Amino acid sequence: MTKVKKFILSEKEIPSQWYNVVADMKSKPMPILNPGTKEALKPEDLYPLFTEELARQELNQTDRWIDIPEEIIEKYKIYRSTPLVRAYGLEKALDTPAHIYFKNESVSPVGSHKLNSALAQAYYCKQQGVTNITTETGAGQWGTALSFAAKMFGLDLAVYMVKISYEQKPYRRSLMQTWGAQVIASPSMSTKAGRKILTDNPTYQGSLGTAISEAIELAMQTPNCKYTLGSVLNHVSLHQTIIGLEAEKQMAMAGEYPDIIIGCFGGGSNFSGISYPFLRYNLTEGKKTRFIAAEPESCPKLTRGVFQYDFGDEAGYTPLLPMYTLGHTFAPAHIHAGGLRYHGAGTIVSQLLKDNLIEAIDIKQLESFEAGVLFARTEGIIPAPESAHAIAATIREAIQAKEEGTPKTILFNLSGHGLVDMSAYDQYFAGDLVNYSLSNEDLAKNIKVLEKII
Ligand SMILES: *Cc1c(COP(=O)(O)O)cnc(C)c1O
């Protein structure tokens, strides 16, 4: 029998609804709070920042299925379905009885899964008559995805890019400019928040917290303008469920069902996207699939953080989110998986972890690059440093399966490729990368700050 390598859906098999896992959760996430009044947020409270439909999606706990508008599906067809691939090469190198599959989100035009939500957010802005949008970007993946999405729906986009990345990652900046976005190094003189920081400290290299403040400020001051975010929030995870819903159909084509599902973890959007559609069978039919979120050792909010109300940003501008967190003042080490350097986690994923419905592990930086290189040499695709954390976790499980002699079926999400991250690989090959472990004292410092919040 010839072995099938990859499974692809026809255009009409692309799912037409996203899956809202909250509807099936017995213990719902705790409410998001207004930081001033400490009252539960209502959709209207979010209207100044987000479009009405996205605000409703954010707080929707009852509708299991949300229709994907036809205009978004038309854009999804540019790159969806993404292939589900059997990693025969990796299996052979590991000499494992496990069957390893990966969902290849790196084939999107921007090279990562982030486009799944960028297209949806841009569409709802357009539909509500919004003309301008703003955002921030750290490593540049989200800004890149949103640039393409804004162009698709005819919106003007301003991206505040953390200054150090703006200088060190010139190609992500070029991608954004090619798709027509205005990219501003943050801190900048274009906002009050930026001007204040630059006046106090003219050589400041920027942070995500500052970039968020600038993007929010510009959105509030520009007529017909909204702010957008690429991870953490519930509506972002909702849009990403297209990944798992496709994978469900594709695993059926392969005649298998996953025992273990793995995603790397920054704020939770790609992990949620691959996991929630399968998790619904654990929640509603008693299936026992394991879900593993793989986070970096240097930013261990799921494995070593606390479950607490905290701000989503460094500056403390966002509503209060009940989540696993290292504290919004936590400054993660400069690992190369820039997309995983976030102090908190989405509220849904946090509740699921608290209820032991999913698991989390941490991966050292060097283990992630070793895994990424093995994957490149066996499957051909050079993974994003973020995605390499999911590959490392997969390798651990495949080796475990070999030791136990059990033919487990493992599915992981390849969230993006690493072709714009080759300087990180260069440093790995030069022996210049190190692991960053955190002492309990270092962790306790930033968590202590949270006691004052609630
Ligand atoms: C942004 C990013 C991540 C991390 O974000 P999540 O919201 O946790 O998915 C992971 N992989 C890639 C390629 C990214 O761009």
pLDDT of the residue at 221: 95
**What's the whole-model pTM score?**
0.97
Which residue is closest in CA terms to ligand 1's atom 1? 339
Domains in the chain: boundaries:
70-111+235-452
Residues with CB under 6 A from ligand 1: 112, 114, 141, 231, 264-271, 339-340, 384, 386-387, 415-416
444: pLDDT confidence band, cut at 50, 70 and 90? very high
Ligand 1, pocket-test mutation among 108, 114, 271, most atoms within 8 A of CB: 114
Contacts of residue 425, Cβ cutoff 8 Å, sequence gap at least 6? 369, 372, 373, 382, 418
Of 71-80, 201-210, 376-385, 432-441, minimum mean pLDDT range: 201-210
- Residue 452 vs residue 295, higher pLDDT: 295
* CA 308 to centroid of ligand 1, rounded, Å: 23
Contacts of residue 422, Cβ cutoff 8 Å, sequence gap at least 6? 382
Angle in degrees, 0-180, between the axes of helices 347-354 and 234-254, rounded to the nearest 10: 60
Residues 215, 220: Cα–Cα separation, whole Å = 9
Residues 182, 161: Cα–Cα separation, whole Å = 10
* CA 44 to centroid of ligand 1, rounded, Å: 29
* CA 406 to centroid of ligand 1, rounded, Å: 31
The answer to whether residue 1 scores a pLDDT higher than 70 is no
* CA 339 to centroid of ligand 1, rounded, Å: 5
What architecture is the 70-111+235-452 domain classified under in CATH? 3-Layer(aba) Sandwich (3.40)
Strand partners, 416: 112
The answer to whether residue 315 scores a pLDDT higher than 80 is no
Which one-letter DSSP state was computed for residue 134? Answer: E
pLDDT of the residue at 341: 87
In the numeric block, the tokens 């608290």 are attached to 354
Ligand 1, pocket-test mutation among 105, 136, 141, most atoms within 8 A of CB: 141
On the CB side of 107, CA atoms within 13 Å amount to 16
Which residue is closest in CA terms to ligand 1's atom 15? 141
The answer to whether residue 210 scores a pLDDT higher than 90 is no
* CA 72 to centroid of ligand 1, rounded, Å: 21
pLDDT of the residue at 333: 83
In the numeric block, the tokens 């995805």 are attached to 145
- Residue 333 vs residue 384, higher pLDDT: 384
The answer to whether residue 119 scores a pLDDT higher than 80 is yes
* CA 9 to centroid of ligand 1, rounded, Å: 24
Q: How far is CA 157 from the centre of its chain?
A: 20
Which tens digit of pLDDT belongs to each residue from 350-407? 999 999 999 999 999 999 999 999 999 999 999 999 999 999 999 999 999 999 999 9
pLDDT of the residue at 336: 85
The whole-chain average pLDDT of the chain stands at 96
Q: How far is CA 435 from the centre of its chain?
A: 22
In the numeric block, the tokens 């501008």 are attached to 317
The answer to whether residue 275 scores a pLDDT higher than 80 is yes
